[in-house]
């Protein structure tokens, strides 16, 4: 029996925190002070939009957006939060912002989030992902009022054995490439600060390990769907390096809603603090080729050149997550299957290209997501 199972039995979570349909609670978030690091990024922008929709008072801490275009600017996210451009590698500036804003809930998403960029600049990757996470946690160590911290890492924190085995939260951490290793190292920092400092101060700390995310508004380089959209919009041929690589793909609203739900649950039951996987059912992990074929069909055009898997630095061929803990303790279950996730993603890009307002498109996706019941 794992430690999360013991905690669940101790507090009777099955009855109290597992309703048949689970969605973020506007009553919980209304007026609540929230800090989002990395709010200018793809996932951070979606989270900030949803928090604003729920009535939260959001402060964002991040570097300026890394790409042009970007969702932060297109959706006018700066109008929905108090935005501060601060580098989390600056410990003093990070601590000052936490002190000044006195957040009740913190979502830490700021990171160097790209595998190939990690190979190109490992020192910056480790500085941002390990020491940046340390700076955020250390700021919380001396903060008044904070109750919950959701520290977002990645599904790539596990020592990947390259076999069809879904990784569980208590499996061995590791990382072949600098990005994965930096995130695994940040998990150790998170665990240490939770045990040594924050739990004793009444701060519930969880790490969130989400599978590969797709959705409208991502223009990051070296990501499958953004690369496809850029290429196909210009009439080019998409080069797919590793068509047989298998990943736990999900729409961005899946992990974002899970982070919100996790924060609500930890606020009510701090004993649920710990690590959580978020992703699709294990049997729905899909290859790059499957995702691109669906994206091509949904987009209505696009040429593809298939690689043989040997180009570029090492990347894992197979990765899937076991999400039983999130289902059992938090009642978090996927709402959109891969087909729906890809279709809504490509529709977002197509409509935005034709002149639709980015914020309106995000709001439409959130409304559609909220309207779907969670399967039993």
Token representation of residue 203: 């701060």
The range of the structural domain enclosing residue 25 comes to 8-215+249-280+323-336
Q: Of 158, 167, 179, 349, which residue is the catalytic one?
A: 179
pLDDT tens track for 329-350: 999 999 999 999 999 999 999 9
Does residue 118 lie in a domain region? yes
pLDDT at 117 exceeding the cut of 70: yes
85 in a structural domain: yes
**Residues in the chain, how many?**
376
Closest to 38 in 3D by CA, of 58, 23, 53, 68 = 58
The arithmetic mean of pLDDT across residues 308-332, rounded, is: 88
Contacts for 355-361: CB closer than 8 Å, 24+ residues apart = 358/71, 358/74, 358/75, 358/216, 358/217, 359/49, 359/74, 359/75, 359/76, 361/216
Residue 179 is a catalytic residue? yes
Whether residue 316 lies inside any domain: the answer is: no
Look at residue 374 in the predicted model and tell me its pLDDT: 54
Residue 79 CB neighbours (<10 A): 9
Total number of domains in the chain: 1
The pTM of the full predicted model, rounded to 2 decimals, is: 0.93
Please check whether residue 47 lies inside any domain of the structure.
yes
Is pLDDT at 312 greater than 90 in this prediction?
Answer: no
- Which residues share a beta bridge with 209? 277
* Average pLDDT over every residue of 157-183: 94
Q: DSSP states of 229-288 as a string? A: HHHHHTT-EEEES-TT-EE--EETHHHHHHHHHHHHHHHH-GGG-EEEEE-S-GGG-EEH
Higher pLDDT, 284 or 88: 88
Q: Is residue 243 part of a domain?
A: no
Q: 31 CB contacts (<8 Å, ≥6 apart)?
A: 55, 56, 57
- The CATH number of the domain holding residue 158 is 3.40.50.720
Distance CA 305, CA 52 (A): 41
90 sits in which H/E element: none
Looking at the domain assignment, is residue 305 inside a domain?
Answer: no
Mean local confidence (pLDDT), 240-252? 94
pLDDT digits (tens, 9 = 90+) for 263-286: 999 999 999 999 999 999 988 999
Q: Taking residues 129-157, report their average pLDDT.
A: 97
Q: What is the mean pLDDT of residues 18-46?
A: 88
366 assigned to some structural domain: no
């Amino acid at each position: 029996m794992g430690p999360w199972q013991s905690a669940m039995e101790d507090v009777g979570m099955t009855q109290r925190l597992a309703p048949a349909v689970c969605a973020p609670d506007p009553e919980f978030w209304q007026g609540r002070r929230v800090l989002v690091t990395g709010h200018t990024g793809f996932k951070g922008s979606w989270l900030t939009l949803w928090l604003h929709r729920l009535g939260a008072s959001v402060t964002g801490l991040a570097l300026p957006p890394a790409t042009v275009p970007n969702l932060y600017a297109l959706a006018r996210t700066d109008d929905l939060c108090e935005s501060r451009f601060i580098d989390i590698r600056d410990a003093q500036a990070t601590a000052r912002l936490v002190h000044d804003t006195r957040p009740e809930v913190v979502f830490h998403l700021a990171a160097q989030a790209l595998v190939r960029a990690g190979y190109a600049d490992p020192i910056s990757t480790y500085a941002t992902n390990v020491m940046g996470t340390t700076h955020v946690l250390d700021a919380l160590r001396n903060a008044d009022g904070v109750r919950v911290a959701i520290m977002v890492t990645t599904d790539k924190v596990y020592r990947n054995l390259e076999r069809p085995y879904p990784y569980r939260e208590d499996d061995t951490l590791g990382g072949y490439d600098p990005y994965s290793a930096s995130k695994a190292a940040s998990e150790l920092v998170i665990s240490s600060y939770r045990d040594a400092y924050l739990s004793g101060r009444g701060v519930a700390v969880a790490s969130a390990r989400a599978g590969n995310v797709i959705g409208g508004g991502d223009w990051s380089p070296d990501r499958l769907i953004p690369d496809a959209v850029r290429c196909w919009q210009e009439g080019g041929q998409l080069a797919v390096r590793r068509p047989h690589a298998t990943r736990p793909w999900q729409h961005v609203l899946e992990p974002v809603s899970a982070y919100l739900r996790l924060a609500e649950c930890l606020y009510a039951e701090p004993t649920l603090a710990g690590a959580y996987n978020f992703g699709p059912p294990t049997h729905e992990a899909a290859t790059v080729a499957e995702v691109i074929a669906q994206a091509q069909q949904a987009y209505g055009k696009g040429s593809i050149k298939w690689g043989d898997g040997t180009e570029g630095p090492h990347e894992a061929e197979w990765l899937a997550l076991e999400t039983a803990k999130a289902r059992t303790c938090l009642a978090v279950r996927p709402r959109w299957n891969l087909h729906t996730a890809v279709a809504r993603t490509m529709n977002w890009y197509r409509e935005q290209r034709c002149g639709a307002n980015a914020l309106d498109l995000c709001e439409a996706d959130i409304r559609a997501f909220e309207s779907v019941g969670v399967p039993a």
